[in-house]
A and B are shown apart, each in its own frame.
Chain A
Amino acid sequence: MRCAGSGWHAVAGIAPALRVVVGVAVIGLNHGIAAAGIQAQAPSEARQKVDVQASARAQAGVKAQSPARAKPGVNAQSSAKALRGLPLNPDGAIRIYNLVGSVRISAWNRDSVAVRGALGKGNSLHMGGGRTGMKMFVEGADERNPQPAHLEISVPARSKVWIKTATADVDVSGVTGSLDIYVVGGTIRVTGNPADVSAEAIDGAIVITGSPAWVRAKSASGTVILRGSSADAALSTVSGGIVVTGAGFERAKFETVTGSIGFNGSFQRGGAIDFETHGGAIDIGIPSGSPADFDIVSIAGLINNRLTTQAVLAGRYGRGAELSTSNAGGGARVSIRSFKGPVTLRRIK
């Protein structure tokens, strides 16, 4: 758990299997929530009973049916219903669990969190915490067959957001704090310039548009897309592809097993970039002025050099191919290794 632990979190962490009812006193709602059109609740009304055992059950009941998979692009303005709001420090932490449906996070310049959306039949929203950290989750009436809940949550821009879903799409925009997103089946979309992004999916695509300083994105069968830049990036999939477009990569690693890797962008002088695949195709396009010292080895595949005049050599072990070549005087170490997938270097404008 990477977000700050309040007393509420501590209780949840110490005794997750016990039925502990924690009264969360909400002091009041600030002007941000009121301005958002959500009625402030009196302290007594805002006192919520948060069932920790229910939280544990909700977290454990990951089973979901595919028909319940969220439809992307829920219209926040037309159908979203105001559900709840709580104050949160501008750099506070928030943890969100929603097993099925969708979660849409948007940043605002207020020190509060507002939740809108459609909960779905039988679902209830539990939410509590303090100004430094809060937690919310959707509890379904039937844990074995959860109904989709579509949440649209406004959070302070600098907040640290942690989201976990089973079968749900997650869409985050504008957050400049840290993001931790875990999805079993569903698409993760991040837009903006968060300080760091950790996004993991098993069966789902990850699309990051922006310039996170630090990014880790992993999927198994889904495609991972990064449009923008990052000083430190590591993307990996098994059978899904990796598509990277952008610049400013200082340290990066792109790995697949059978998925293809496509890179269109440029490297930083002094950078270290690794590409590795077993059977996927690797296609790298860089402009003429992008510095790079390529060291390419393919055990049993082909290398197609359309970038420089350097000839491709036969592999030192009697098969495959190898190529060492530089572009624009070199200066960024680019290591490419493929077992049998073809490797292509080319020039882009």
Chain B
Amino acid sequence: MKDDIMDDDVDESSVDDPRFRALLARAAELPKSIEPPADAWPKIREAIAMKGAIAPEINRLQRKPALWQRPAFLLAAAAVLVIGSSAVTATLVGGRTDVASQPVAVTSPPERARASGPATLAEFAEVEKDYIRTASQLSETLQSGGGTLAPETIVKLDESLRVIDAAILEARRALAADPANRTIVEMLSGSYERKLDLLRRTTEMARS
């Protein structure tokens, strides 16, 4: 830094000024770089995650370009195709899977998260990335097939998604203020699960 100053910005006559020399000496003692505060990254990550939680829905409502050209849509479409074809194959090969034979446990993903899932904001932030990514993919898949839904249904769906997003936002703020509150973490996970479930169900209904 000192060399840069000497080369570019300083009048040569000022180099002899004792005050300037003292300033240069102090500057030379400064470290070349400093580490960010230890707690900075979780806050940055939280801010990114919050932006990511809201942005997909805003974008979904605002943008109108050809989705089929986007890599994310192509990936989602490929995933739907693979899952759909697998389901058909499983159906044809395996026949009916009797509901009564399936585990009828009421245990939901939030309950599973309760047993082994995140307990703090920092831990939840990692899980949240998956929620947000999945929700974004489902939203895009739904949008690509949304032309088969009646306009009034789309309005109702958007209302429901906004309700869930508002709940997520509120719980997220509460968790930021109380990052070790496991109950909030579990309820936040539950809200994300409900959002994904609604998107999945609607996608299925619009598709078939």
Contacts and interface: CB of A to CB of B under 8 A. Distances in A.
B106 A202 contact: no
A77 interface: no
Interface string B181-208: 1011011001100100110011011111
Interface residues of B, number: 49
A184 B181 contact: no
Contacts of B167: 257-258, 278-279, 339
Interface in B74-129: 87-88, 91-92, 95-100, 104-106, 108, 111
Interface stretch (B7-15, B42-50, B60-68, B145-153): B145-153
A255 B190 contact: yes
Interface in A251-265: 251-253, 255, 257-258
A184 B150 contact: yes
Given A10-B92, A13-B92, A339-B187, A200 B174 contact: no
A203 B206 CA distance: 13
Given A63-B147, A184-B205, A299 B183 contact: yes
18 contacts: A1-B87, A160-B96, A167-B150, A182-B205, A184-B149, A185-B153, A196-B100, A200-B201, A202-B205, A203-B157, A214-B100, A214-B104, A220-B157, A238-B194, A238-B198, A239-B160, A339-B187, A340-B170
Nearest to B174: A299
Contacts of A160: 96
Q: Is the interface of B mostly helix, strand, loop or mixed?
A: helix
Given A14-B88, A64-B150, A278-B170, A234 B106 contact: yes
A166 interface: yes
Contact of B160 (A167, A221, A299): A221
B176 interface: no
Contact of B153 (A184, A200, A213, A276): A184
Contacts of A317: 178, 181
> What size tier do the contact residues of chain A reach?
35 or more
Contact of B183 (A61, A196, A337): A337
A258 B163 contact: yes
A287 interface: no
B159 A278 contact: no
Interface of A: 1-5, 10, 13-14, 59-66, 93, 160, 164, 166-167, 178, 182, 184-185, 195-196, 198, 200, 202-203, 213-214, 218, 220-221, 232-234, 236, 238-239, 251-253, 255, 257-258, 272, 274, 276, 278-279, 297, 299-300, 317, 337, 339-340
B19 interface: no
B156 interface: yes
A232 B104 CA distance: 7
A4 B104 CA distance: 21
B24 interface: no
B164 interface: yes
A239 B159 contact: yes
Given A251-B106, A339-B167, A339-B171, A220 B160 contact: yes
